[in-house]
């Protein structure tokens, strides 16, 4: 322990007041804390206090502090003020979730320890909590977000120690532990919430770059789910459990077709977690003959979407009335495959029929209006039209409105008009196409080799793919995984890993809410608790020293109920530590 001066200007003069400070060691390095404010004491008094405090373990020290009576001071109530209001609820809640997942201790075990001033596990927590609470770039975290939050008080890292270079290096240190992190989270989440990983949904999305990303070979132009075909991108394949808990992910080249990623992701998951009796649920965009052969090769079970063109093979089954109702407006029917090892699930939906009929009507109207305009132009043409050009115009019209293209039989004939050669466009509508459209508009087809489930159960399992879609939606909106500003391949992958860990915290909060009977909407819960603030309360005394207390705002009744239901104990004040 030692005595430290605290200076304050009063009446144009600089006055020194004294505090007894203790130095102690933590896993994050040495820290200091104020044991007692001594006020304005002379040199003899300071030496006496220091001498008594330095004799650790002696009876004299214990007697000194045991016998001291409370020292009352008068506070100038008119001069009481608050300073440095900071965001507390979000960072504190995120840190509590990290502790429940044992991620703090896990990172301290696996990440290397060197001569760095701030341990890499701590800087990794800064990245993850910042992504959860205030998604932004590393530069913004260093210059704005960190100082405006309570992370400094919660993690014990001073503001001047957090800079963009140290955050970038933390990304580099975190990335090599991706596989170990996924395995740890899978086991911990399974234990916490009694999760089963027998049903695994897999889907792919993309995220685009700002800049050329020339140093990243994975950055390519491809099909953009973000409607940014002008930007390079990478594809992300994510596997989630039935309730949306992420099991793992992989990053692919931006021009990679979805179907080519299936074999790689399945083998990666099986090598990491074993080839359990797992059912893979895949969207129809993932399906190819090679993938189906791969899934069957070692007895893997699956439920997959199927192109609508295969509905034609089951036309007779569509006509019959032996459907099983799942709920109002939705029915399913099981049909055995030709070889008996597969089951096709026919599904028909009342809402889907209205949607597809409206689409067909809209595209039919567009094609017909386009043909009428084309015929009118040909009738008014004063020179011989180019037949190939007319055919190309018709082809582009049908391509833009492909949903109703099969309805029309279009013929372009050569004619003479007013003694000049010309062209005439005629068309008719196919009754057979319209009849099939009316029959199939509300229907779609699934296939599976799971033969011991009912039709409704297979359909419900397939609809859980929406959990993967929800995961992408949360990462793109709430966690702002896009756009990517990093240019190096490793930094991009580390950025995606940080977003993945923040999403795990998001889903952990959702599961905690579900267990507590608070529904399954973590967004509202997080927003409510994020309103809690941390403030410094300054109490000027009559004797001169200013007492500074770091206090957490008092929760509202609603917030207090939420905290109680979640089993969280909100601190009322934090120790003022320095480094």
For residues 213 and 492, what is the distance between their CA atoms, to the nearest angstrom? Answer: 10
- pLDDT tens by residue, 85-118: 999 999 999 999 999 999 999 999 999 888 889 9
CA 328 to chain centroid, in Å, comes to 33
Instruction: Check residue 425 and give its pLDDT.
Output: 92
- pLDDT tens by residue, 182-197: 999 999 999 999 988 8
Instruction: Check residue 50 and give its pLDDT.
Output: 63
Instruction: Check residue 63 and give its pLDDT.
Output: 44
Paired tokens of 2: 């030692």
C-alpha distances (whole Å) from 388 to each of 74, 399, 425 are 97, 16, 13
3-state helix, strand, coil in the chain (%, to 5): 45, 25, 30
Average pLDDT over residues 202-226: 94
Residue 42 has pLDDT above 80, yes or no: no
- Residue among 222, 217, 219, 261 at smallest CA distance from 239: 261
For residues 501 and 243, what is the distance between their CA atoms, to the nearest angstrom? Answer: 17
Other Cβ atoms within 10 Å of 166 Cβ, number: 18
For residues 293 and 473, what is the distance between their CA atoms, to the nearest angstrom? Answer: 31
In the structure, what pLDDT confidence band is assigned to residue 70 with cuts at 50, 70 and 90? low
Max CA-CA distance within the chain? Answer: 124
Look up tokens 């509905």; give the residue: 311
- Residue among 509, 510, 479 at smallest CA distance from 495: 479
Residue 61 has pLDDT above 50, yes or no: no
Average pLDDT, the chain: 89
Residue 509 has pLDDT above 50, yes or no: yes
For residues 559 and 102, what is the distance between their CA atoms, to the nearest angstrom? Answer: 25
Kindly state the DSSP code that residue 102 receives in the 8-state scheme: T
- Residue among 501, 518, 502 at smallest CA distance from 563: 518
For residues 392 and 411, what is the distance between their CA atoms, to the nearest angstrom? Answer: 13
Instruction: Check residue 22 and give its pLDDT.
Output: 83
Instruction: Check residue 341 and give its pLDDT.
Output: 85
What's the order of all strands across the beta sheet hosting 330-336? 246-253, 233-240, 199-208, 279-282, 301-306, 443-448, 343-349, 330-336, 324-327
- pLDDT tens by residue, 314-373: 999 999 888 999 988 899 999 998 887 899 999 999 888 899 999 999 999 999 999 999
- pLDDT tens by residue, 434-468: 999 999 988 999 999 998 899 999 999 999 999 99
Instruction: Check residue 274 and give its pLDDT.
Output: 83
Residues sharing a CB contact under 8 Å with residue 103, sequence separation 6 or more, in sequence order: 181, 184, 185, 501
C-alpha distances (whole Å) from 25 to each of 21, 30, 31, 298, 579 are 13, 4, 6, 55, 11
- pLDDT tens by residue, 398-446: 999 999 999 999 999 988 877 788 899 999 999 999 999 999 988 999 9
Percent of the chain whose predicted confidence (pLDDT) is above 90: 66
Average pLDDT over residues 491-517: 95
Residue 64 has pLDDT above 50, yes or no: no
For residues 522 and 520, what is the distance between their CA atoms, to the nearest angstrom? Answer: 6
Average pLDDT over residues 71-83: 86
For residues 330 and 355, what is the distance between their CA atoms, to the nearest angstrom? Answer: 14
Instruction: Check residue 565 and give its pLDDT.
Output: 94
Cβ–Cβ < 8 Å for 7, 546: no
Cβ–Cβ < 8 Å for 496, 523: no
Instruction: Check residue 340 and give its pLDDT.
Output: 78
- Residue among 395, 407, 398 at smallest CA distance from 360: 407
SS3 535: strand
Instruction: Check residue 19 and give its pLDDT.
Output: 79
Percent of the chain whose predicted confidence (pLDDT) is above 70: 93
Residues sharing a CB contact under 8 Å with residue 180, sequence separation 6 or more, in sequence order: 110
Instruction: Check residue 54 and give its pLDDT.
Output: 62
Beta strands in 182-318 (DSSP E): 199-208, 233-240, 246-253, 279-282, 301-306
Angle made by CA atoms 461, 284, 232, in degrees to the nearest 5: 115
Instruction: Check residue 60 and give its pLDDT.
Output: 43
Instruction: Check residue 395 and give its pLDDT.
Output: 95
Look up tokens 């608050």; give the residue: 82
Residue 72 has pLDDT above 80, yes or no: no
Average pLDDT over residues 380-389: 87
In the structure, what pLDDT confidence band is assigned to residue 276 with cuts at 50, 70 and 90? confident
End-to-end CA distance of the chain: 15
Instruction: Check residue 383 and give its pLDDT.
Output: 83
Look up tokens 């779609």; give the residue: 444
In the structure, what pLDDT confidence band is assigned to residue 500 with cuts at 50, 70 and 90? very high
Highest mean pLDDT out of 22-36, 58-72, 83-97: 83-97
């Amino acid at each position: 322990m030692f005595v430290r001066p605290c200076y304050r200007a009063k009446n144009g003069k600089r006055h020194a007041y004294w505090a007894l400070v203790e130095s102690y060691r933590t896993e994050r390095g040495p820290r200091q804390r104020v044991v007692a404010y001594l006020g304005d004491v002379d040199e003899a008094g300071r030496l006496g206090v220091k001498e008594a405090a330095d004799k650790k373990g002696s009876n004299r020290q214990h007697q000194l502090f045991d016998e001291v009576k409370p020292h009352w001071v008068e506070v100038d109530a008119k001069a009481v003020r608050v300073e440095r209001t900071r965001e507390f609820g979000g960072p504190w809640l995120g840190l509590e979730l990290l502790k429940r997942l044992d991620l703090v201790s896990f990172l301290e075990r696996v990440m290397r320890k060197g001569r760095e001033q701030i341990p890499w596990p701590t800087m990794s927590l800064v990245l993850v909590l910042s992504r959860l609470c205030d998604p932004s770039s590393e530069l913004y975290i260093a210059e704005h977000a960190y100082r405006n939050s309570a992370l400094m008080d919660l993690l014990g890292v001073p503001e001047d120690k957090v800079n963009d270079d140290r955050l970038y290096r933390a990304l580099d240190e975190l990335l090599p532990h991706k596989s170990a992190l996924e395995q740890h989270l899978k086991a911990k989440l399974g234990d916490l919430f009694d999760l089963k990983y027998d049903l695994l949904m897999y889907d792919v999305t993309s995220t685009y770059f700002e800049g050329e990303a020339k140093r990243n070979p994975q950055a390519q132009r491809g099909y953009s789910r973000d409607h940014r075909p002008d930007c390079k991108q990478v594809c992300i394949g994510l596997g989630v459990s039935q309730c949306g808990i992420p099991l793992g992910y992989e990053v692919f080249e931006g021009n990679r077709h979805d179907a080519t990623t299936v074999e790689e992701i399945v083998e990666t998951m099986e090598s990491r977690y074993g080839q359990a009796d797992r059912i893979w649920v895949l969207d129809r965009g993932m399906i190819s003959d090679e993938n189906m052969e791969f899934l069957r090769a070692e007895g893997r079970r699956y439920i997959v979407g199927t192109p609508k063109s295969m509905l034609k093979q089951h036309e007779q089954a569509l006509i019959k009335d032996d459907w099983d109702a799942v709920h109002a407006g939705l029915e399913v029917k099981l049909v055995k495959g030709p070889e008996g090892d597969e089951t096709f699930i026919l599904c028909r939906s009342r809402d889907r029929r209205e949607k597809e009929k409206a689409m067909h009507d809209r595209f039919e109207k567009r094609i017909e209006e386009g043909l009428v305009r084309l015929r009118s132009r040909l009738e008014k043409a004063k020179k011989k039209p180019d037949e190939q050009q007319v055919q190309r115009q018709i082809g582009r019209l049908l391509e833009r409105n492909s949903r109703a293209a099969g309805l029309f039989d279009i013929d372009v004939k050569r004619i003479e008009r007013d003694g000049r050669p010309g062209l005439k466009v005629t068309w008719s509508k196919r009754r057979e196409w319209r009849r099939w459209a009316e029959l199939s508009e509300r229907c779609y087809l699934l296939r599976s080799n799971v033969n011991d489930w009912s039709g409704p159960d297979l359909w419900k399992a397939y609809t859980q793919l929406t959990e993967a879609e929800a995961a992408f939606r949360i990462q793109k909106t709430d966690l702002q995984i896009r756009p990517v500003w990093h240019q190096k391949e490793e930094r991009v992958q580390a950025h995606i890993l940080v977003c993945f860990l923040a999403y795990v915290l998001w889903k952990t909060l959702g599961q905690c809410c579900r267990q507590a009977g608070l529904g399954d909407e973590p967004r509202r819960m997080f927003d409510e608790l994020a309103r809690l603030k941390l403030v410094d309360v300054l109490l000027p005394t009559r004797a001169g020293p200013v007492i500074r207390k770091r206090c957490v705002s008092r929760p509202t009744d609603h917030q207090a109920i939420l905290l109680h239901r979640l089993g969280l104990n909100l601190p009322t004040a934090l120790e003022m530590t320095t480094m």
